Amino acid sequence: MEKEYKISVLYKIVYGIFITIIFGFAVFLTSEGLKKHHSTSNYISGVLAFVIGAVWTLYLKMKRVIIAEDAVEVISLFGSCKVYADGIKGFRVMDKLLIIYLINGERKKLRIYGPQLMDKSEEMIAQLSNLCPDLDTVEYQQEMGLILNDNALGYSENERNEKLESAKRKALIFNIGGGVLFVGCFFRNYGFIVCLMTFFYPLIGIFLIISGKGLIKFFTKNNSPLPSVYVGMYIPSMVLLIVTIIDYHIINHSDVWVPFLLISSVLIIVISIKGITKKGGAAQFVILLVIALFYGYGSTLMINCGFDQSAPQIFDATVVDKYKTKDVPYVKISDWGSYKESGEIKILNSFYEQVQIGSTIKVNSKRGGLNIPWYYIPQ
């Protein structure tokens, strides 16, 4: 039985409002062109607006998907394409896109943009699954079958399934905890505690990957039964980077490069060995690189400054300026000791009220846990 699916009435109304605004804008530009003695720019803009509105209208009117017992046909403003079931490998539903993969022919894929815009979109996808397999479902079932038949995960299928569910719960709790640590950005008076928590939290993610016996991965696609922990690692790494850069002031940033790159490289190697999946694609490596760089730089500052137990050298500096950025107080100080550049330092609100421009304050300089000199203002 052949069924036709068009853009839903709701979306036609929503888009119709935008199209009406575009046509109104086109009329306005054209009339302005007449008032300004045939202004070329207004005429061109008006014509373009009319064209956009007309194309959009035709798109809404012509777009449809027809699914028969042995074929699927996609009709749009730019033509139509009909393929038969024996030439279809399967389909995938992605975010705002449905892709039908073809077996033979010049065309490898048939794309349906905005499947969620179609009337009865869920019925359309169900109808399509009767014609050809949902590749995401197939891959999920295949991967699930490998897990449930892996003797290393338990003696029975129930035991293996329980371990998978346990891994999912651990990953979920870890990711939620990582999201909660984002709040640390707003507790600026507890900088060291925030740095300490965000320094160790990504390491917990690595521990979960290593101890998960392959059931917990760094990054997985939506169609995978395996859980991932990249969210719980990304947010704390980002917070660690932000807070350490604000709180710890390095005298010579070129000294940071070696430990920064070393820590980032170790993180990439460990996760690549234990947490990367073949089906994760390039996205997992991009995310891993970002997290490694965030964590590598932030942890370098934390190890060097946060854990530094060396005795400080005390210098005098003059307050050149003081100000607040988004309610965060800062002071700008003159050069001090051998450091010949003025610096901007975040301070506590209570200290901000006490210090005056032109006054002298103390600056403490320390050797650094990684022998990278840094400084701070005691408050």
Residue 141 falls within a domain, yes or no? Answer: no
Does 213 share its domain with 273? yes
Are the C-beta atoms of residues 337 and 315 closer than 8 Å to each other? yes
CA dihedral 373, 374, 375, 379 (to 10 degrees): -120
Instruction: Please give the DSSP secondary-structure letter assigned to residue 304.
Output: I
Residue 296 falls within a domain, yes or no? Answer: yes
Are the C-beta atoms of residues 249 and 343 closer than 8 Å to each other? yes
Backbone angles phi, psi at 362, to 5 degrees: -90, 140
Q: What is the pLDDT of residue 49?
A: 79
Residue 147 falls within a domain, yes or no? Answer: no
Q: What is the pLDDT of residue 279?
A: 77
> Distance of CA 80 to CAs 6, 59, 66, 128, Å?
14, 13, 11, 17
Does 175 share its domain with 253? yes
Does 201 share its domain with 89? no
Q: What is the pLDDT of residue 293?
A: 95
DSSP 59-77: HHHH-EEEE-SSEEEEEET
Residue 354 falls within a domain, yes or no? Answer: yes
Q: What is the pLDDT of residue 97?
A: 85
Does 186 share its domain with 223? yes
Residue 238 falls within a domain, yes or no? Answer: yes
Are the C-beta atoms of residues 125 and 119 closer than 8 Å to each other? no
Does 234 share its domain with 279? yes
Does 227 share its domain with 295? yes
Does 298 share its domain with 322? no
* Tens-digit pLDDT profile for residues 182-203: 876 666 556 678 888 899 999 9
Q: What is the pLDDT of residue 155?
A: 85
Final residue belonging to a domain, choices 78, 101, 136? 136
Residue 187 falls within a domain, yes or no? Answer: yes
Distance between CA atoms of residues 375 and 368, nearest Å: 9
Written as six digits, the tokens of 170 are: 């651990």
Residue 218 falls within a domain, yes or no? Answer: yes
Q: What is the pLDDT of residue 276?
A: 86
Written as six digits, the tokens of 155 are: 């003696």
Does 106 share its domain with 183? no
Distance between CA atoms of residues 63 and 224, nearest Å: 32
DSSP 85-138: GGGEEEEEEETTEEEEEESSSS--EEEEE-GGGBTTHHHHHHHHHHHS-BHHHH
Q: What is the pLDDT of residue 227?
A: 92
Q: What is the pLDDT of residue 174?
A: 95
We report the CATH number of the domain holding residue 57 as 2.30.29
Distance between CA atoms of residues 361 and 199, nearest Å: 31
Written as six digits, the tokens of 180 are: 């909660």
Give, for all 379 residues of the chain, the pLDDT tens digit. 688 888 888 888 888 888 888 878 777 777 766 665 556 676 677 778 788 888 888 888 888 888 888 888 888 887 888 888 888 888 888 878 888 888 876 678 888 888 888 888 888 888 888 888 888 888 888 888 888 888 888 888 888 889 999 999 999 999 999 988 887 666 655 667 888 889 999 999 999 999 988 899 999 887 889 999 999 999 999 999 988 888 888 888 888 999 999 999 999 999 999 888 877 778 889 999 999 999 999 999 999 998 988 888 888 877 777 777 777 777 777 777 766 655 666 666 667 677 778 778 778 888 999 999 888 877 6
Give the chain's domain count: 3
Does 108 share its domain with 124? yes
Report H helices in the chain: 9-35, 40-62, 121-131, 135-148, 157-180, 191-211, 230-247, 257-274, 281-301, 349-354
Distance between CA atoms of residues 379 and 376, nearest Å: 9
> Residue 254: what residue type?
S
pTM for the whole structure? 0.75
Give the whole-number percent of the chain exceeding pLDDT 70: 89
Are the C-beta atoms of residues 299 and 246 closer than 8 Å to each other? no
Does 324 share its domain with 289? no
Final residue belonging to a domain, choices 136, 164, 197? 136
How many CB atoms lie under 10 A from the CB of residue 308? 19
Distance between CA atoms of residues 224 and 222, nearest Å: 6
Residue 62 falls within a domain, yes or no? Answer: yes
Does 285 share its domain with 160? yes
Final residue belonging to a domain, choices 274, 306, 338? 306
Domain that holds residue 79: 3-136
> Residue 314: what residue type?
I
Does 59 share its domain with 160? no
